[in-house]
A and B are shown apart, each in its own frame.
Chain A
Amino acid sequence: MNKKISVAMFSLLCLLSFWILAGCSKKEAPTEAQPSAPATTAAPAASATPIDPATVASVSGAVKLEGAAPKASKIDMSQDPACKGANTAETILADGGSLANVFVYVKEGLGDRTFPVPSQAVTIDQQGCKYHPHVLGAMVGQNIEIKNDDPTTHNIHPTPQANREWNESQPPQAAPIDKSFAREEIMLPVKCNQHPWMRMYINVVKSPFYAVTGPDGKYEIKGLPPGDYTIAFVQEKLGEQTQKVTLAAKDSKTADQTFKAQ
């Protein structure tokens, strides 16, 4: 009799564990810092530090790659017939030495200033089984709208260090997914486990003073109050470099940067 009770208890425990886990797999809240409403809200303006528009300065420049750029790796998309995108990787894009996809931002010098969160969302589009853009900048709490324009299902899986991890699938023609990140984090990787070559980086910063270099390697950061700043240039593979810049009122300075090919 005792044996039967033991077996019954063991079976019951197993069943309970199974259902507890099944319960855990229910969909999580759509965002960690904001509800899934469209990007129409902004942080309270009262908390933002005012900037005199008459004195604002700007910094711009070009990011170069010194040395031969590595040959872009080929991507094999044959495991999903619905994937018909460009089949080269975007790890290092350097056309004629101009380095694209470098995230440039003001790392130091803004002090305790706070800035309103833009009400407009930034967009990630999955198209040709690739992320567009490959490198994205967003402010802390800003809505990120994720779309799927491919005829296949993707899963969007950020793997942050400072923010909460999530993983959601998005079938073709599904409604956009709205997300935001609560903490600053540079080069936060996002991947699709269904298509392992799909990878992009989101950069979450506290200020609106950031840019991503285009195919010509150029960037521009406008609207900065006068001051001494450290500008950081971050590339997913080549790492981070910094440069000190002093901006007077209405200054327009150039800060070029060069990475060495590894």
Chain B
Amino acid sequence: MNLKSLATPYNRAHHRFAVFTACATFVLIIAGALVTSNDAGLSIPDWPTSFGSFNVPPLHGGIKYEWSHRAIAGSIIVLTISIATWTWFADRRRWMKWLGVAALGTVITQAILGGLTVLLFQPPWVSSAHAAVGQTFFCIAVTIAMFTGRRWVEEVPQIEFDSRRPSLFTLTLLSIFVLYAQLILGAMFRHHGMSWWPHVANAAIVGFVLTWTAIRVLWQFSKIEAVRRPAIVLVSLMIVQLCLGFIAFQTRVAWGRDAVQPELPMVISTVAHVAVGALLLATAVVLAIQVWRQVPVSFEEPVPGRTRKPVAA
């Protein structure tokens, strides 16, 4: 009973539903980014009701962004309950059942953080936690989609040992770490809890770590499609993300500092920056899981007779 086991048959409907949930979550992230970029987070002062009711309010001004975000979030909770229940009863893998429960726990935490951000008037740490947990949930939704996919369930991993140090798996974990830090720094800046420079400074570290990771994959393990593809996507998204970050910085900090209202170039570039950031984090998670599965770390173990032999982790 582990991630590599083939303990469950491929269920197409289950997988498609998981993919749909992940895609809907991506839409939710875009909706959330629209709320923040349009400074509409508090346009509805109460929560969970909207102006004291669960009916649709007049959708003008900032209300259309905030209410749409709430409506999509509500739908995602329903989708998550469904996928968690379906996984619990249909998937034979025990860890998958608990991954579904984890997804449900994360989405409920996210809803509570969303409520707190409204009721506490958007304290930067709560709003940033809301942004971070939202993308964590997106990563979980993407992994559920991956774990239920035909390739994961039916294909035999093409194992190649990794003897270099730091190991590729360590590099993928480091990539996730720096991306997560970048997500929090960006969220803190967007929510006025921090200056822009830590986010910009960390972008250089992210660029270095992700490039290093992608080069290692493409140089050493390019024959393994399951790791090659996410590595190429990772480095491509990173280039797009750096360009979007530059544009977002220009429109928000350089040109838009004295803007009397959120301007369209700033909104578009910032929302795109958040969306691509979410895709980047999810790709890094997929890459790490595939590396863990396909490229196990070998380590040298001293054996009698001064001979050394690679052993799988």
A residues at B contact (CB < 8 Å):
7, 10, 14, 17-18, 21-22, 24-25, 27, 73, 75-76, 79-83, 89, 91, 152-153, 155, 157, 159, 165, 167-169, 171, 193-197, 199, 237
Cβ-defined contact, A73 with B47, below 8 A = no
Given contacts A25-B48, A25-B49, contact A76 B261 (CB under 8 A): yes
Q: Does B121 contact A (CB under 8 A)?
A: yes
Name B41's closest neighbour in chain A (CB-CB): A193
Q: For residue A194, which residues in chain B have a CB less than 8 angstroms away from its CB? A: 40, 43, 60-63
Cβ-defined contact, A196 with B39, below 8 A = yes
Over the window 44-60 of chain B, the binary record of Cβ atoms lying under 8 Å from chain A Cβ atoms (1 yes, 0 no) is: 11111101000001101
Cβ-defined contact, A169 with B62, below 8 A = no
Q: For residue A21, which residues in chain B have a CB less than 8 angstroms away from its CB? A: 47-48, 112, 115-116, 119
Q: For residue B115, which residues in chain A have a CB less than 8 angstroms away from its CB? A: 21-22, 24-25
Q: For residue B111, which residues in chain A have a CB less than 8 angstroms away from its CB? A: 18
Per the 8 Å Cβ criterion, residues 15-64 of B in contact with A are 38-49, 51, 57-58, 60-64
Over the window 75-111 of chain B, the binary record of Cβ atoms lying under 8 Å from chain A Cβ atoms (1 yes, 0 no) is: 0000000000000000000000000010001001001
Q: For residue A171, which residues in chain B have a CB less than 8 angstroms away from its CB? A: 51
CA distance A199 to B101 in the complex (A): 44
CB B124 to nearest CB in A, in angstroms, measures: 13
Secondary structure class of chain A's binding surface, majority of residues: loop
13 pairs, CB–CB < 8 Å, chain A vs chain B: A10-B105, A18-B48, A21-B119, A73-B258, A73-B259, A79-B60, A80-B61, A155-B43, A157-B121, A167-B121, A194-B60, A196-B39, A196-B40
CA distance A75 to B119 in the complex (A): 29
CA distance A24 to B49 in the complex (A): 12
Name A159's closest neighbour in chain B (CB-CB): B121
B residues at A contact (CB < 8 Å):
38-49, 51, 57-58, 60-64, 66, 101, 105, 108, 111-112, 115-116, 118-119, 121, 258-262
Cβ-defined contact, B51 with A195, below 8 A = no
CB B180 to nearest CB in A, in angstroms, measures: 24
Cβ-defined contact, A167 with B45, below 8 A = yes
The 6 closest A-B pairs by CB, nearest first: A194-B61, A193-B43, A197-B261, A89-B260, A80-B60, A193-B42
CB B91 to nearest CB in A, in angstroms, measures: 15
With A79-B60, A194-B60 given, name 8 new contacts (CB 8 A): A17-B112, A18-B108, A79-B61, A79-B64, A80-B61, A91-B258, A165-B121, A196-B40
CB A82 to nearest CB in B, in angstroms, measures: 7
CA distance A203 to B256 in the complex (A): 26
Q: For residue B259, which residues in chain A have a CB less than 8 angstroms away from its CB? A: 73
CA distance A24 to B60 in the complex (A): 26
Given contacts A10-B105, A79-B60, contact A157 B42 (CB under 8 A): yes
CA distance A83 to B66 in the complex (A): 19
CA distance A221 to B144 in the complex (A): 69
Q: For residue A79, which residues in chain B have a CB less than 8 angstroms away from its CB? A: 60-61, 64
Cβ-defined contact, B119 with A155, below 8 A = no
CA distance A157 to B122 in the complex (A): 12
Cβ-defined contact, A195 with B62, below 8 A = yes
Given contacts A21-B48, A21-B119, A80-B61, contact A197 B43 (CB under 8 A): no
Cβ-defined contact, B262 with A196, below 8 A = yes
Most central of B51, B64, B119, B260 by chain A CB within 10 Å: B260
Q: For residue A22, which residues in chain B have a CB less than 8 angstroms away from its CB? A: 47-49, 115
